[in-house]
Amino acid sequence: MFVRKLARTITATLAILTLAGSASAHDPGDSPEAHQDDVQAEGPAARARAQERVRWRSEDDMRDPLVRIKLLGINDFHGQLSSGRLIGGRPVGSGPVLASYLKTAAANARDGSFLVHAGDHVGASPSASALLQDEPSIAFLNQLANSHCRYVDVSRGPWNLSYLQPRCNVVGTLGNHEFDEGVAELTRLLDGGNHPNGPFLERNWRGARFPYVSSNVVRADGRDLVLAPFTIRLADGVPIGFIGAVLKETPTIVTPSGVAGVEFLDEATEINRYARLLRLIGVRAIVVTIHQGVFQTAFAGPTSPDVNATLSGGIVNIVRQLSDDVDVVVSGHTHGFTNALIANQNGTPILVTQAFSAGTGYADIDLAVSRRTHDVVEKSAVVVTTWADEGPGLTPDPAAAQLTAAAEQSVAPLVNRIVGVATADITRATSPAGESALGNLIADAQRIRTNAQFAFMNPGGIREELRAGEVTWGELFTIQPFANDLVSMDLTGAQIRTLLEQQFPDATTQRILKTSGLTYTFDAGLPVGGRIVEIRDADGNLLGDATVYRATVNSFLASGGDGFTVLAQGTNRVVGPVDLAALVEYVASLPQPFSAAIEGRIQRLN
């Protein structure tokens, strides 16, 4: 009965809904995206603390008959079907292991469960997904979808009733990486149809067998929504609304061609708009899945009464603008941990989660909903790490394992391709000044590929050593697995000096960038903010404070990542190739066998 009523209501209000998508565009801003490996940053102890549960309970309605629902939140999967990730030396994640955990958790749900992903499920993916246009990653979710899920006809517009799948157990939303190859490819991936380089694992690609929703992405010509803003599920007869959104700063971290023809509206405004609509049609339990997040030290926030004073930025600013209609926010984008009750504009606690990234964890969220009022009266969450050596990880899901094996076999010829020959190991080991041979090689590749004067590479983005002998494409991929775009920008000499000063955020910490095209000297004995003694270009000339230079960094740094905030001020930005592609091309172009060494690009006085 509710479904028929809802269908009639949506059809009758189509004109109103279309107008609702015509809000004014936002003012773009920069937002850091942590493409670096949070798996390494958040070690076993932090992962253990993440498994402490956060709870909230209403003072009202607890005597009502309740429906108990489980939400399983994932984010930033980035096509990580294959195994190989480690935390503290222990194996973690992969498609088969994640699927086993999710299916086990769903089986323990009393009145039903829903799998919710918060964007970047595809893009910046390993070869087994990326080289197959990320179809295997969507196929992975299709495997987790139940028999009530069906393919959505995205091409028919956001208000067609194929989005209305009340018993389907999977809901997704868009992240910035879903736009990497443009709206047309995004639509193909979700809607079906073979890619020009396909077919891949499936002879006829049919798309996603579940709805993606997004409330704040509109087409520039007329402002029609690209996808439906929400979908509604029934849990033992009780309606649950799911609203999607993506960070409004997406155009600043995606190549312009990727977002051509679409605009990104203010997240909170659009979420509140559709939350009001859902409430008008009788949906009072509302979940937001959004690709935006915050960095939170594992469990410091939720266990502290001043959580709302200690967390700020990103998703926190959005949550504080949300209405009381929203109960839960499944977040992403920062590749970190979040499990907190964050107060909205009225002081109402909204449960916000983020489960690291790359399938290494999931948020296990329990909701109790009143059958009488349909309100959420109790909510709690824990972030579970998907260890491959214990629990459900010991029995990887067979269907996901078969899919992963097929994808890996399909890309093996490229992954095993020999790119060059290294005369000796080229490592991350640093000089006393912080320079490394491998860092020099990577920075040189980025500078030369983008025809810039200078290049800067963050050490945290270099994940492995390059061993002597034949160098394969797969080995270079392992060294730079994040698929960050290269971003070239104009910086003044004064800004470059500030950038180098930001390597020393306090008296005891240093994060030495790897450089190409310049040399500099620093004195660690000088006060923070004044440690750079001199900077010279490749010709030995001192940099002029007012002179404008062309510099290249990866997209993580370009948005201010790792505290290098001055890079967010760079102008005349051009998004270039993926960092890995630049490295592969550069290594292949070198006289073989090749080498790299510490050259004294960075000098330390004290």
Which pLDDT band, with edges at 50, 70 and 90, does 251 fall under? confident
DSSP letters spanning 30-83:
------S-HHHHS-HHHHHHTTSPEEEE-SSSTTS-EEEEEEEEE---TT--S-
Task: Give the DSSP letter of residue 453.
Answer: S
* Mean local confidence (pLDDT), 86-97: 94
Could you report the per-residue pLDDT of 553-562, keeping only the tens digit for each? 998 899 787 7
Which pLDDT band, with edges at 50, 70 and 90, does 8 fall under? low
What sign results for the dihedral spanned by CA atoms 276, 278, 284, 288? negative
Report pLDDT for 155. Answer: 85
Report pLDDT for 15. Answer: 34
Could you report the per-residue pLDDT of 204-226, keeping only the tens digit for each? 999 999 999 999 999 998 779 99
Looking at every residue in the chain, the average pLDDT score rounds to 90
Contact 104, 159 (CB under 8 A): no
* Mean local confidence (pLDDT), 177-182: 90
Report pLDDT for 44. Answer: 86
Other beta carbons within 10 Å of 600: 10
* Mean local confidence (pLDDT), 71-80: 96
pLDDT more than 90, % of the chain? 74
Could you report the per-residue pLDDT of 99-115, keeping only the tens digit for each? 999 999 999 999 999 99
Other beta carbons within 10 Å of 313: 14
Domain pair 2-409 / 416-604, same fold: no
Angle between helices 398-415 and 135-144 (to 10 degrees): 170
Domain locations along the chain: 2-409, 416-604
* Mean local confidence (pLDDT), 517-533: 97
Rg (CA), the chain: 24
Planar angle of CA 260, 265, 268, nearest 5 degrees:
150
In DSSP terms, 56 is beta-bridged to: 379
Report pLDDT for 28. Answer: 24
Residue, of 302 and 563, whose pLDDT is higher: 563
30-50 b/e with 16+ CB inside 10 Å = b?
A: bbbbbbbbbbeebeeebbebb
Q: How far apart are the first and last CA of the chain?
A: 76
Which pLDDT band, with edges at 50, 70 and 90, does 18 fall under? very low
Could you report the per-residue pLDDT of 273-316, keeping only the tens digit for each? 999 999 999 999 999 999 999 988 766 555 555 677 778 889 99
Q: Is the per-residue pLDDT at 25 higher than 60?
A: no
Report pLDDT for 192. Answer: 97
Q: Is the per-residue pLDDT at 29 higher than 50?
A: no
DSSP letters spanning 309-365:
HH--STHHHHHTT--TT--EEE--SS-SEEEEEEE-TTS-EEEEEEE-STTSEEEEE
Could you report the per-residue pLDDT of 449-487, keeping only the tens digit for each? 999 999 999 987 887 789 999 999 988 987 887 778 899
Query: Which of the listed CATH numbers 3.90.780.10, 3.40.309.10, 2.60.40.10, 3.30.70.270 matches domain 416-604?
Result: 3.90.780.10
Which pLDDT band, with edges at 50, 70 and 90, does 574 fall under? very high
Distance CA 333, CA 315 (A): 10
Which pLDDT band, with edges at 50, 70 and 90, does 531 fall under? very high
Report pLDDT for 221. Answer: 82
Report pLDDT for 40. Answer: 38
Cβ-count burial of 389 within 10 angstroms (0-12 exposed, 13-18 middle, 19+ buried)?
Answer: exposed
Query: Which of the listed CATH numbers 3.40.50.1820, 1.10.10.1200, 3.60.21.10, 3.40.50.150 matches domain 2-409?
Result: 3.60.21.10
pLDDT more than 70, % of the chain? 91
Q: Is the peptide bond prior to 199 cis by the omega test (within 30 degrees of 0)?
A: yes
* Mean local confidence (pLDDT), 171-179: 95
Distances (CA, A) of 23 to 215, 264, 266, 441: 11, 10, 9, 47
